[in-house]
Copies of this chain bind each other. A is one copy, B any other.
Amino acid sequence: MLGSTFGSIFRVTTWGESHGKAMGVVIDGCPPFLDITEEEIQAEVDRRKPRENSAAATPRRESDQVQILSGVFEGKTTGTPISLMVTNENTRSGDYGNIQNLYRPGHADYTYDLKYGRRDFRGGGRSSGRETVSRVMAGAIAKKLLKTSHKTEIYGHTIQVGHLKLDNFDKDFIEQSELRSADPQVESELLKLVETTKNAGDSLGAIIQIVIKNPPKGIGMPTFSKLEADLARAMLSIGAVKGFEIGGGFAAASSLGSENNDEMYSQNGETHFKTNNSGGILGGISTGEDIIIRLAIKPVSSIAKPQETIDTNNQNATIETHGRHDVCLAPRIIPVAEAMAALTLADHLLLQQTTHLQD
């Protein structure tokens, strides 16, 4: 649960720096007999890659070829640690003079030095968004586990970029959209916004929504390990995330109890909720309704505009970041957020199995 390890039972440990030799993850505690292939993991990893020819995305390209190094035998998990790795190829070594001595505003350069006294400054090192490829690899296995056992489906879409709201919903459009928007009607307006911002040397924030259909029912815990608490931690552990809402979220603040409570009723022997302002979780435990989360994504910190900063000798300086950067992180954070949601639910699903003594 600490540092680079996530989860209590389905435990994931990531490693690797942006411009080191490789990125990897070890998953311990995954049940045996789960069918999994490198191709299935690859598909999720590919979704995380920057889109070809997209104005929103960095031109850095990595093949990110997934290797299963342990824990899978004859196509099925064995119950022992699963080790997954991709190598780093496009690392442009030796080309970091600027970053080495300057603290980039909005980045972790300054705080890493505060904490550790040193850092691997090559491409952000461990604080790089590249670390999330390890999460996506692990998340692919968690997704498969949830899908196999509960037909759980997890997907995300961008609902706001800058001031532009993406209100229409066409699920099939999401993976076509450059920004993973579900709103085909404003896609061209959206692309123009991205292009304009890029040309101005600037970047854009966004709001994304994560939807979990058919979550396992009755998982989660009271007190500190509430399902929404662990989801919030999972999401805020993603670099650029600055806010988290579940269900009604901040809008609940201005609602009345009579509006916000989700009334229940029984129909044909099944329990239903009239609304889902709770976002699928009550008292830390899932109701079985869709779990709905929204995340605030800050604009990319690396921008071409000059910014004031200091160097590592505490001298004032100016920095401009030209190079390989995304303009808006939303489309690339979505697969990561889906992965973190899957990891959280997989862990709670297994934890729930300890709640009752089996025969």
The contact string, 1 if C-beta is below 8 Å from chain B, for chain A 214-234, is: 000111111111101111111
Looking across the interface, which residue of chain B has its beta carbon closest to that of A124?
B283
The contact string, 1 if C-beta is below 8 Å from chain B, for chain A 97-111, is: 000000101111011
On chain B, the residues within 8 Å of A309 by CB distance are 263-265
Given contacts A203-B257, A223-B4, contact A217 B283 (CB under 8 A): no
On chain B, the residues within 8 Å of A117 by CB distance are 32-33, 356
On chain B, the residues within 8 Å of A279 by CB distance are 242
A46 interfacial by beta-carbon distance below 8 Å? no
Given contacts A117-B32, A203-B257, A296-B249, contact A5 B15 (CB under 8 A): no
Distance (Å) between the CB of A138 and the closest chain B CB?
11
On chain B, the residues within 8 Å of A9 by CB distance are 2, 351, 354
| 24 A-B interface contacts by CB (under 8 A) | A2-B8, A3-B221, A3-B225, A16-B70, A26-B26, A33-B117, A78-B120, A79-B116, A110-B287, A111-B285, A114-B286, A115-B352, A148-B357, A163-B254, A203-B258, A232-B236, A236-B244, A242-B246, A242-B252, A243-B245, A257-B302, A271-B314, A350-B354, A354-B354
Taking a contact as CB atoms under 8 Å apart, the answer to whether A24 and B83 are in contact is: yes
Given contacts A28-B5, A316-B266, A352-B115, contact A357 B149 (CB under 8 A): yes
On chain B, the residues within 8 Å of A303 by CB distance are 257-258, 261
Which residue of B197, B219, B233 is within 8 Å of A115 (Cβ)? B219
Q: How far is the CA of A222 from the CA of B69 in the complex (A)?
A: 18
Given contacts A6-B224, A81-B14, A264-B110, contact A253 B297 (CB under 8 A): yes
The contact string, 1 if C-beta is below 8 Å from chain B, for chain A 262-275, is: 11111001010010
Given contacts A107-B283, A160-B253, contact A126 B78 (CB under 8 A): yes
Q: How far is the CA of A63 from the CA of B247 in the complex (A)?
A: 36
Distance (Å) between the CB of A142 and the closest chain B CB?
12
A131 interfacial by beta-carbon distance below 8 Å? yes
Looking across the interface, which residue of chain B has its beta carbon closest to that of A80?
B126
Looking across the interface, which residue of chain B has its beta carbon closest to that of A161?
B253
A237 interfacial by beta-carbon distance below 8 Å? yes
Distance (Å) between the CB of A123 and the closest chain B CB?
12
The contact string, 1 if C-beta is below 8 Å from chain B, for chain A 293-317, is: 0001111111101011110001110
Distance (Å) between the CB of A207 and the closest chain B CB?
5
Distance (Å) between the CB of A162 and the closest chain B CB?
6
Taking a contact as CB atoms under 8 Å apart, the answer to whether A257 and B225 are in contact is: no
Q: How far is the CA of A145 from the CA of B27 in the complex (A)?
A: 27
List the 10 closest pairs (A to B, CB-CB), nearest first: A108-B283, A114-B218, A203-B257, A111-B285, A233-B233, A257-B299, A15-B81, A105-B261, A232-B232, A229-B237
